[in-house]
Amino acid sequence: MLVAVSCGSTPASTAPAYPATGLVLLSLTDGSQRGSATIGSDPVAVITSDDGAMAYIADSSPGDVYAVTLPALKVVWKTHVGGAPFGLLLNGGRLLVSLFSGAAVVELDPARGTLLSRHPVAQGAAAMAVADDGRVVVAGVTGHLSYLDGTSIPAGAGFGVANVAGKVWTADFHAAELVRTVDHHLVALPLAVSPFWLAPGAPGTLLIAAEGAQEDSDPGAVLTYETTEGTFVVLARPRDPDQVAWSGSRVLVAAHGDRQVLSIEAGKISAWGQGAAAVALAPDAPLGLLVVAVNAHE
């Protein structure tokens, strides 16, 4: 039996409780919690629709994809795709899902979750982006950037890809290098870290989230790379930063090893969602929310 005893003093504030796996909603203004739900057992990626009304989640180990309403967090559909879904991309009215162990990208109907098509790509299919010519490009651990028509070009052997100022950039995870695919130009990182996630930042700027030697215990890094000037800035050194994203004037980081989200603006670092095992995030500007996928088992 538990007995509550009033001592006449103001109770200490308690930290919000976060699910072990699922979604957490934070305010894009101040990082305060706005909702949470347990969804899936191994979420690794999340994106939101253009109108901000839906979130899509890749649940890796079971091989499922979920569609969830925002901000109510109600599951609309769940589709089994197999192959360890990794990357998510909304393009041309379809939801694209890369299958890391399935060597494929599948296209789903975003409204119903029905399978529309399947494209073979290189093994280790990871993040996706849209090139300036409108083609979808898929990063992979074999060192090739795949197109959905079955062709590929040399690239960094890694997980990240981003289109910045009309150029597609990938990263070589083990070599600690960025790779500009148009001419295979290599850029060494200024720290001994392994680049995992890439994203466009301010105009002409690439955002990089990189792991330390020991993913969960050693400091990683969040960096910017100014692609015209060729200069780096180290923004923060969290443990196991899994994803980085740009929102307005902020850099947002899923700092999984530190169990929090970092908000970096004008050199100031704020810790949001402390205690949340953040692995992925998606700014939802229409609703003023940051949608965070959490995974305490990852």
Along the 298 residues of the chain, how does pLDDT read in single tens digits? 222 323 333 344 456 789 999 999 999 999 999 999 999 999 999 999 999 999 999 999 999 999 999 999 999 999 999 999 999 999 999 999 999 999 999 999 999 999 999 999 999 999 999 999 999 999 999 999 999 999 999 999 999 999 999 999 999 999 999 999 999 999 999 999 999 999 999 999 999 999 999 988 899 999 999 999 999 999 999 999 999 999 999 999 999 999 999 999 999 999 999 999 999 999 999 999 999 999 998 7
State the SS3 of 271-282: EECCCCCEEEEE
- CA distances 264 to 47, 81, 173, Å, are 20, 35, 24
Bridge-based pairing state of the strands 136-140 and 144-147 = antiparallel
Pairing of strands 64-69, 75-80: antiparallel
Strands 231-236 and 21-27: unpaired
CB 86 within 8 A of CB 140: no
Domains defined along the chain, listed by start: 21-295 (2.130.10.10)
- Give the integer Cα–Cα distance in Å for 97 and 88: 5
Give the residue from 254, 279, 246 showing the smallest Cα distance to 59. 279
Strand partners, 127: none
Q: What is the distance of C-alpha 150 from the center of its chain?
A: 25
- Output DSSP code: residue 114: -
Whose structure tokens read 């196991």?
240
Tokens encoding 258: 């530190």
pTM of the model: 0.93
CA-to-CA separations, 241 to 34, 194, 198, 246, 260, in angstroms, rounded: 23, 11, 11, 14, 10
Please give the backbone phi and psi of residue 162, each rounded to the nearest 5 degrees, phi first: -155, 145
Buried b (16+ CB within 10 A) or exposed e, 154-174: ebbbbbbbbbbeebbbbbbbe
What 8-state DSSP symbol labels residue 285?
A: G
Selection from 26, 34, 46, 36 nearest residue 279 by Cα: 46
> What CA–CA distances, in Å, run from 131 to 47, 203, 214, 290?
18, 16, 33, 26
Q: Is the four-CA dihedral 12, 18, 19, 25 of positive or negative sign?
A: positive
CA angle 180, 185, 186 (to 5 degrees): 95
Quote the pLDDT of residue 165.
Answer: 96
Q: Which candidate, 99, 96, 98, places its Cα nearest to that of 107? A: 96
Of the candidates 175, 205, 174, the one whose C-alpha atom is nearest the C-alpha of residue 187 is 175
User: Does residue 71 have a cis peptide bond before it, meaning omega lies within 30 degrees of 0?
Assistant: yes
CA distance linking residue 39 with residue 231, whole number of Å: 40
Residue whose token pair is 């967090």: 73
> Residue 4: what pLDDT?
30
Tell me the two tokens of residue 144. Answer: 């090739």
Helices and strands counted in the chain (H then E): 0, 28
* Predicted pLDDT at 11: 40
